[in-house]
Amino acid sequence: MENETLKEYYINTNKEIPDELKFGQGRLPHLNIIRQKNCFNSLAFMRRDYYKIVLTKTRALLETENGEILIDRPALFFSSPDRLFGWTYLCESQWGYTVLFNDLYLHNEAKDAFRTLFSLFSEKEYPFLFLDENYFERYSYLFQLIFEEYQSSFVLKDYLINNLLVTVVYTAIKIKNANIANTEKGNSVFSDFCSMLEQQFPIDAPNIVIAKSSPKDFAHTLGIHVNYLNAVVKQETGKTTTEIIANRVLLEAINLLKHSSWSITEIANSLGYEYAQHFHHFFKGKTGVSPKDYRKNI
């Protein structure tokens, strides 16, 4: 597979080749920051021998070794010489920044920061982050500072830019760690929800009524907002909390119709239905037959 160099990047994008790349034979530090304003050419899927950081709120497809990622909201992504990626713009309207640099440009502290960041992403993950409005504004400010320093004639500007890059990276590490913590919390919430749901079954007597039959019931017991529970369940199963509860209630209804002598009204009541007619509509909607006909057929 091709491996694009920094010099080839400038050639491929019809940009003027900087002197340090033109005459430095790959032995000089280089950094450039570009504002995204006009539609750039899409980038082919390949490896680059340089680093890139992109802050964007442009709709695009990020192609990785493990598939495509739709970028449809503010995002930040990092590439390094050992990562393959491609980039396809989905609209002409753009806003953001692209920072390109080689390993020679980075000071030791910046190199350590990048190593720490990349270590947080598994081989199956591409190092990118979706940003909320707050973090997008923070990053917009940081990239504007980098752009201004890059344009300045200050003799120590490279030192300042390295420090700004360290801030960019450590802020990303902070976001990634928070995402990991939220995922672990979500896994715990999902596990507790499933356990709580199962503890209500099997129902041993017709006078026993399940205590929790709605997402709000479970969220209240778990001490979380129902929207958070719904988001966690959807993330874990692809289904809504209501669907998961309904499927488990249906399974219990089938077992009771098959193996108990309880009346349909008693079964309906034990499953949390105040009126047998509501249970009838629920069961027929799920199976295509009424509870009475189901029991008759078996």
**Higher-scoring residue by pLDDT: 47, 38:** 47
Mean of the pLDDT values across residues 71-86? 92
37 — pLDDT class (breaks 50, 70, 90): confident
Which pLDDT does position 131 carry in this prediction?
Answer: 94
Segment 103-130, tens digit of pLDDT:
999 999 999 999 999 999 887 789 999 9
Domains and CATH numbers, the chain: 3-183 (2.60.120.280), 200-297 (1.10.10.60)
**Side-chain half-sphere CA neighbours of 284 within 13 A:** 11
Task: For residue 221, give both structure tokens.
Answer: 């017991």
pLDDT tens-digit series, residues 160-212: 999 999 999 999 999 998 888 887 887 888 999 999 999 999 999 999 999 99
Q: Mean pLDDT over residues 84-104, rounded?
A: 88
What is the model's pLDDT at position 13?
85
Task: Please report, as a single letter, which amino acid is at residue 96.
Answer: G
% of the chain at pLDDT higher than 90: 69
Q: What is the pTM assigned to this prediction?
A: 0.66
The residue among 40, 44, 116 whose CA lies nearest residue 84 is 44
Q: Is the pLDDT of residue 1 over 70?
A: no
Please give the Cα distance from 248 to 204 (Å, whole number).
16
Structure tokens at 146: 């980098």
Q: Are 252 and 201 in contact (CB under 8 A)?
A: yes
